[in-house]
């Protein structure tokens, strides 16, 4: 029973409303204007963003979205809606809303919906297993900004990360084992995490350490030689140094080392999206095969898997139980 009037806010990054240049430009403008994402001086960054980045990237990125768009819409939103629905069914009397940090449905819409249901304790669950200032902290900022318009705000519990949660590791293990059963064990198993600027890590962002933690626990959990597991970082943007090794360079180099069969999982992505379905499943597969590789399989994100919904339920219930004690 929802005695404390709990409500759950699931948050993911966001997505364009349509795979069109106009919609992508609008989305990228909001996303890349966040100081948590790009921390350069606004005096320097705004002319670059509006003079070069948006005019040059919007059309190209729209074409990439068109390659992975589902009948129901953007994969990130489709899976997010399914996660919301399934989690709400599991929690029964605790309302669940989905909000995007950028784009629709907005954080403001989601929080408004929850507070209209008289939620007094708001559990904010960013769907980022590993904390980063450019993702998790940006959610905290966004929620705080929305709540500024309310005279009375709910109690807030912010689930910062779940990189080492047993149910998370178990869910990832399950997807890897399913891939092994279907395709056989590969020569190498790659964990591809979204990268961040090295400068962020050097100035206090714990993201890289959280990725290492997940990697260590998952290597221990799976029945696969640890020395054949590799880690790489994808989706770098701009010219400065980001976390290495870079994913595209890594897969390109492997065939020359005698590696002909690889499987790739992206543990940091709770839902499949542009970065997994286009960048990894399509582009990096093409890079690997063109370099002489023979077999490349992408292991899907947790998406709306039952094990994923049970993980989200465990995260929420862990707080509800403690809050009621």
Q: Which residues are annotated as a binding site?
A: 194, 275
Sign of CA dihedral 304, 310, 311, 315: positive
Rounded CA separation 272/75 (Å): 6
Closest CA to 207 of 265, 128, 142: 128
- 8 Å CB contact between 10 and 85: no
What DSSP element (H or E) covers 99? strand 96-103
Q: Which residues contact 306 (CB under 8 A, 6 or more apart)?
A: none
Q: Backbone phi, then psi, for 202, in 5-degree steps?
A: -70, -20
Rounded CA separation 284/271 (Å): 18
Binding residues for Fe(2+): 194, 275
DSSP class of residue 301?
Answer: P
207-218: b (≥16 Cβ within 10 Å) or e: bbebbebbbebb
The DSSP bridge partners found for residue 14 are 102
């Amino acid at each position: 029973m929802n005695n404390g009037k709990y409500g759950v806010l699931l948050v993911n990054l966001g997505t364009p409303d349509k795979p069109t240049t106009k919609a992508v430009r609008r989305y990228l403008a909001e996303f890349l204007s966040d100081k948590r994402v790009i921390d350069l001086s606004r005096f320097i960054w705004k002319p670059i963003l509006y003079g070069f980045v948006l005019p040059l990237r919007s059309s190209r990125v729209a074409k990439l979205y068109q390659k992975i768009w589902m009948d129901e819409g953007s994969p990130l939103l489709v899976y997010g809606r399914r996660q919301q629905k399934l989690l709400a069914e599991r929690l029964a009397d605790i309302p669940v809303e989905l909000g995007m940090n950028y784009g629709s449905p907005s954080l403001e819409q989601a929080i408004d919906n929850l507070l209209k249901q008289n939620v007094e304790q708001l559990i904010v669950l960013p769907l980022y297993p590993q904390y980063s200032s450019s993702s998790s902290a940006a959610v905290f900022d966004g929620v705080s900004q929305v709540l500024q318009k309310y005279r009375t705000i709910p109690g807030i519990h912010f689930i910062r990360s779940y990189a080492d949660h047993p149910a998370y590791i178990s869910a990832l293990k399950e997807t890897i084992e399913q891939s092994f059963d279907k395709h056989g064990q590969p020569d190498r198993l790659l964990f591809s995490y979204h990268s961040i600027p090295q400068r962020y890590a050097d100035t206090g962002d714990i993201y890289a350490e959280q990725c290492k933690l997940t990697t260590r626990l998952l290597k221990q959990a799976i029945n696969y030689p640890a020395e054949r597991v590799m880690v790489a970082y994808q989706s770098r943007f701009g010219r400065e140094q980001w976390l290495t090794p870079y994913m595209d360079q890594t897969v390109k180099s492997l065939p020359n080392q005698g590696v002909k069969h690889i499987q790739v999982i992206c543990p940091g992505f709770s839902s499949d999206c542009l970065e997994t379905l286009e960048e990894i499943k399509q582009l990096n597969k093409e890079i690997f095969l063109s370099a002489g590789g023979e077999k490349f399989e992408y292991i899907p994100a947790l998406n709306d898997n039952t094990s994923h919904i049970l993980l989200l339920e465990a995260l929420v219930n862990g707080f509800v139980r403690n809050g009621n004690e």
